[in-house]
Amino acid sequence: MLKENTVITLHPEDMFRLHAILLDELDEDRDTAPDFLAAVIKKKADAASKPHCRPVFELERGKTPEFITDRLDAEKGRCNKSGGSI
């Protein structure tokens, strides 16, 4: 599941390279652009979009966080299938 917003940080040289690719300024970037996008941008975007711990203040007040309800549902499923408690 994708988060609503994903933020990545780029080093200045990576930012320059990305701008060059997007503006098609450098001829040599045409051949290496897919490699750069996969190695730098996709890698950072994938890492940033993975689930992370959320501070308590980001959780909705009065609502059980989804990761807890998912865990409880999974526990119930294991209890019901085996016929006993875990």
The per-residue pLDDT for range 16-49, each reduced to its tens digit, is 888 888 887 666 667 788 888 888 888 888 888 7
The pLDDT value given to residue 60: 62
The pLDDT value given to residue 1: 55
**If you write DSSP's letter for every residue of 34-55 in order, what string do you get?**
HHHIIIIIIHHHHHHHS-----
Residue holding tokens 């308590």? 56
The per-residue pLDDT for range 52-68, each reduced to its tens digit, is 665 555 556 667 777 78
Between the alpha carbon of residue 54 and those of residues 20, 50, 51, 65, the distances in Å are 35, 12, 9, 10
Q: Is residue 2 very low, low, confident or very high in pLDDT (cuts 50, 70, 90)?
A: low
* 8 A C-beta contact, residue 2 and residue 51: no
Spans of all domains in the chain:
1-52, 54-86
The pLDDT value given to residue 86: 47
**Among candidates 39, 45, 59, 55, which has minimal Cα distance to 3?**
45
